[in-house]
Structure 1
Amino acid sequence: MADPSHKKGTKTFYSQIFPLLRRSLPLDRRADDWTKDDARAWWAEFSATRNSSQCNICLHILRRTLQSIVEAGIRSDNPTAGLKRKRQAKPAVEDLPGIEILDQLLESMREKRGKDAANKVEFLAWSGVRISELLAIDWSDISNNWLTVTGGEQGTKNHEIRRVPINNRLETLITKLRYEGASGKVFQGGPPRKALNLACDRIGIPRLRIHDLRHWFATYAIEKGVDIPTVSKWLGHKDGGALAMRIYGHLRDEHSLSAARKL
Structure 2
Amino acid sequence: MYYGCKKVDGRRKERSLATADRKIAERRLKEWIANLGKVDSAVEKTTLKQLCVRFIAVSQGKADSTLCIIKAIVKEFENWWPYGPNPEVRNIRPSHVEEWLALHERRLKNTSYNRYAGILKQLFELAVNDRIIAESPFDRVRTRWKKPQTPVRRVPTLEQFQAIVDEVRSEKRSSHARESADFLEFLGLAGVGQAEASSLTWGDVDFTRNSMSFRRHKTDTRFPVPIYPHLRPLLERLRQEAGPKIEPAQLVLKIKDGKKALANACARLGLPHFSQRNLRQCLIMRLWKSGIDKKLIAKWQGHQDGGQLILDTYTEIFGADDAAYEMQQLAKLEVAPSPDPAAKN
Once the two structures are superposed, what CA deviation does each residue of 1:171-226 show, in whole Å capped at 9, x if it has no partner?
Answer: 12212322232441112343222222222222222322322233222122101211
- Which among 234, 238, 241 is matched to residue 177 of structure 1? 238
- Which among 132, 145, 157 is matched to residue 98 of structure 1? 157
Which structure dedicates a bigger proportion of its chain to strand? 2
CA distance 1:160–1:100, shift in 2 (3 Å): same
Which structure dedicates a bigger proportion of its chain to helix? 1
Larger RCO (alpha carbons 8 Å, 6+ apart): 1
Give the length in aligned residue pairs. 258
Alignment partners' CA distance in 2, 1:157 and 1:76 = 30
CA distance 1:55–1:196, shift in 2 (3 Å): farther
1:146 has 2:218 as partner: no
- Which among 187, 190, 195 is matched to residue 256 of structure 2? 190
1:165 counterpart residue number: 226
Once the two structures are superposed, what CA deviation does each residue of 1:67-89 show, in whole Å capped at 9, x if it has no partner?
Answer: 34456444465244623348568
CA distance 1:39–1:189, shift in 2 (3 Å): same
Alignment partners' CA distance in 2, 1:33 and 1:161 = 47
Mind listing any 5+ residue stretches in structure 1 that lack a counterpart?
none
1:19 counterpart residue number: 75
2:104 counterpart residue number: 46
The letter of the residue matching 2:120 is L
Based on CA coordinates, which of the two structures has the bigger radius of gyration? 2
Aligned residues: CA RMSD: 3.3
1:83 counterpart residue number: 144
Alignment partners' CA distance in 1, 2:280 and 2:149 = 17
| Aligned counterparts, 1:104-253, within 5 A | 104-112=163-171, 113=174, 114-144=177-207, 146-151=210-215, 156-178=217-239, 179=241, 180-181=243-244, 182-183=246-247, 184-250=250-316, 251=318
Give the share of equivalent positions with the same residue, in percent. Answer: 22
Alignment partners' CA distance in 2, 1:27 and 1:215 = 47
- Residue 233 (structure 1) shift: 0.7
1:65 counterpart residue number: 123
CA distance 1:16–1:41, shift in 2 (3 Å): closer
TM-score, scaled to structure 1: 0.80
The letter of the residue matching 1:210 is Q
Alignment partners' CA distance in 1, 2:270 and 2:309 = 31
Mind listing any 5+ residue stretches in structure 2 that lack a counterpart?
1-55, 320-324, 337-345
- Residue 164 (structure 1) shift: 0.9
Alignment partners' CA distance in 2, 1:116 and 1:189 = 7
Alignment partners' CA distance in 2, 1:22 and 1:188 = 39
